[in-house]
Structures are given as C-alpha cells and as structure tokens.
Amino acid sequence: MKEQQESKVKMMMKIFDLMNLEAEEYSQRGKNVFFENELFKTRVINLKAGESIPDCQMDCFVIFYVVKGEFLVSKNGQEASLKEKQVFITEPALLSMKSNTGARLMGIQIKTRETEG
C-alpha cells in the first residue's frame, strides 16, 4: 500500500526546464503558461533585445525570477534593474518591463482572497 502511494506521488512530480520551455511573444502570452492551478499561474517570458511589455495592472501578487539576461521593471512608475538569478516580488501594482539586451524570466501570479472569485 505504501509503495502505491509513493508511486502516485512520483508520477505527479513534474520538473520544468526554464531554459528550454517555448516562449511566444507578448501578444501570445497565454501560450507561455506552463503550470496553473486555483492558487497561481506560472509562465515563461522571453524578451528579445529592445522588447518591452506595456503597463499591465496586476490584481494579484507577482514574482519574477530572472533566468538569463537583464531587464528594467517598472512598478507604479518606479523603475529598477533586475539581473540574472535575481527575483522581484510585488503586491498588486501597475507593472511594465523592458530589456535592452534580452532576458528570459519566470513569472508567477499568486491569487489572494481578494482576487479569487
């Protein structure tokens, strides 16, 4: 019985290689979601040199982890630079980003009780 339970847990485990996941352009960002459940949505974002993501009002908490490269993030008009292996965590806010040199990142949207519904 215990072996069956352990086997089920192992089958449910999924590893994602952030460097090899397909990433579509911003207009097709829905295709970049590689995991989603009722609590959070996870996507890969690939910005080519000179590309940007326009202002977006996020109604949930968001985490951005820089896998490769560098980009500028704007939160409610305040800008900061994020580099490879850095993480940015924010409460709901107006966000945008731009990369001069190119960047690959993981974005996680986390629902709150206020955003559920």
Supply the CATH number for residue 95's domain: 2.60.120.10
In a domain, 85, yes or no: yes
Q: Is the dihedral of CA 108, 18, 27, 53 positive or negative?
A: positive
Tens of pLDDT along the chain (117 residues) come to 555 555 555 557 889 999 999 998 888 888 999 999 999 999 999 999 999 999 999 999 999 999 999 999 999 999 999 999 999 999 999 999 999 999 999 999 998 766 554
What pLDDT shows up at residue 26?
80
In a domain, 89, yes or no: yes
Which of 92, 103, 95, 44 minimizes the C-alpha distance to 70?
103
In a domain, 28, yes or no: yes
In a domain, 117, yes or no: no
Give the separation between CA 66 and CA 82, rounded to whole angstroms.
Answer: 7
Number of independent structural domains in the chain: 1
What pLDDT shows up at residue 29?
85
Which amino acid would we find at residue 19?
Answer: M
What pLDDT shows up at residue 94?
98
In a domain, 74, yes or no: yes
In a domain, 46, yes or no: yes
In a domain, 75, yes or no: yes
Determine whether 30 is exposed, middle or buried from the number of CB atoms within 10 Å of its CB (0-12, 13-18, 19+): exposed
In a domain, 116, yes or no: no
What pLDDT shows up at residue 5?
55
What pLDDT shows up at residue 9?
53
Looking from the CA of 42 toward its CB, the CA atoms found within 13 Å total 11
Which residue range forms the structural domain that includes residue 52? 2-110
Q: Is residue 60 within 8 Å of residue 111, measured between CB atoms?
A: yes
